[in-house]
Structure 1
């Protein structure tokens, strides 16, 4: 796989994480650089691990993974999105949004990276060097998610509850998009 193809794959795999981190940044009261870096690190590590897991599972389990990956992503992202909507509607206009838990961050990261596991299986079939591709995906995801979190900070500080509700809708739409893409195949 050429360096250009690896870069395109890495950026393509990190777009969902960017959107989710953007939404997450919009829902917290104050995003610190450390929060953004932690978010990027969690997304990056998960996005590195899932293609490695897919690679290790390989051809033997490809049918099982592709049969359920979209449902797992849809469920995780949908539940987290509904939680964001509920929190936005429940919160009074002048109350600050709550800080999201680490478990919610991990759930979002896993939800956005389920497809990377299937990509890992595909890379095993194509005999691609996973030890170059997986870290490239992780680094791209780290950069995109960190940037998304910081950009979301601007949205959240300007639009408050509306940004939190929008974040929930974005996560639900992201999960629905993943589901529809797989059901259309």
Structure 2
């Protein structure tokens, strides 16, 4: 169960970082507006993060018969690559600008209409959960109920997204990169564990 919680926290870090960016871009908005934004982030990101690993799990289950002996290595490599990608993105120079641009799109016209662009929010939720689909493959290698694991991933992401918007609204973007680095390190560690220790 600890592995699932760590996996859920690691997978939630992309959504958490984006939620912080959304909150930081909304610092001049009312509490009511930020509450709506936080609820939307919680719903969009939480649902996407719950569904995507389930898709990965089902695809992995279909392939497990063919890949039984190599599955731990494939699953471990997937998590290490995802973790490495997250770590790389932390140090990419344009990451903060990219998050700011995305936040601008989601909060389109927010000064005039206090409106949230739901199409962009949905796209963003899917984009931040693609890694979760790949990680869902590894749920076949862990001794747990995959449906419960996906529910835990969804709930953890929803809570991190909700709190991320408020953290960004109150204190800016200083936590974004640290959150993604932590998520990357946890994914690499779980990948190594799956590959070498089962």
Q: Which residue is 2:182 aligned to?
A: 173
How has the CA–CA distance of structure 1 residues 22 and 154 changed in structure 2, closer, same or farther, with 3 Å as cutoff?
same
Q: Which residue is 1:38 aligned to?
A: 44
How has the CA–CA distance of structure 1 residues 27 and 75 changed in structure 2, closer, same or farther, with 3 Å as cutoff?
same
1:104-133: CA deviations, max 9, x gaps? 64443233454431221456xxxx8xxxx3
TM-score by length of 1: 0.67
Q: Is the 8 A contact 2:86 2:180 kept in 1?
A: yes
For structure 2, the 5+ residue unaligned runs are: 27-33, 104-119
- Equivalent residues, number: 162
TM-score by length of 2: 0.63
- 3-state SS of the aligned residue for 2:102? coil
- The separation in 2 between residues aligned to 1:12 and 1:21, in whole angstroms, is 15
Q: Is the 8 A contact 1:57 1:121 kept in 2?
A: no
- The separation in 2 between residues aligned to 1:43 and 1:13, in whole angstroms, is 12
For structure 1, the 5+ residue unaligned runs are: none
- The separation in 2 between residues aligned to 1:107 and 1:75, in whole angstroms, is 17
- 3-state SS of the aligned residue for 1:161? coil
Q: Which residue is 1:25 aligned to?
A: 19
Q: Which residue is 1:99 aligned to?
A: 102
- CA drift at 1:73: 0.7
Q: Is the 8 A contact 1:16 1:112 kept in 2?
A: no
Q: Does 1:155 align with 2:175?
A: no
Of 125, 130, 133, the match for 1:110: 130
Q: Which residue is 1:47 aligned to?
A: 53
